[in-house]
Amino acid sequence: MIRLGGKLMAYSIGQVAEKTGLSAYTLRYYDHEGLMPFVQRNPAGRREFSEHDLDMVDLITCLKATGMTLKDIRHFVEIAMEGDRTLNERLALFRKQRDQVDQQIAQLQAYRRKVDYKVRYFEACCEAGTEAAVTGDCDLPDMPIYIDDALRVKPAHK
């Protein structure tokens, strides 16, 4: 909340969009999909976000970015609003999400090894002056890359 002259002021959807990097359209969509039932509306019907609401929007963004479906995020928000009686269910939900994030990280690390291999491969190609002189196996990214000196276009660095 913004304190202005001793009175608490709420964040508008435009201010929240600016703070979070989400578009106002996305915020409205999330609200329409039931992800933000905690957001209050003023007498004119405009959404008013509190600091706590901003934290929840940040968490929703995090969960979405880690692959959680909007349906599952909505379920989390619903049970979170029920209070302490859902602590165990929320813990289980976050443990499951953490496991999914760990799987994503492992997959990204495998992709990174393949990309690293291709960097080494093309560095060798550039050094040799031709791809024809270079051998390696992309499926075994930790294996060495060889340059056949007989097929080099550029002389070896000495």
pLDDT in tens, 25-51: 999 999 999 999 999 999 999 999 999
Residue 21's identity, in one-letter code, is: G
Of 138 and 45, more confident: 45
* CATH dotted code for 1-81: 1.10.1660.10
Helices of type H across 50-86:
51-65, 70-80
Joined tokens for residue 13: 């959807």
Q: How many Å apart are CA 61 and CA 73, to the nearest integer?
A: 10
Domain boundaries, the chain: 1-81, 89-158
pLDDT in tens, 57-108: 999 999 999 999 999 999 999 999 999 999 999 999 999 999 999 999 999 9
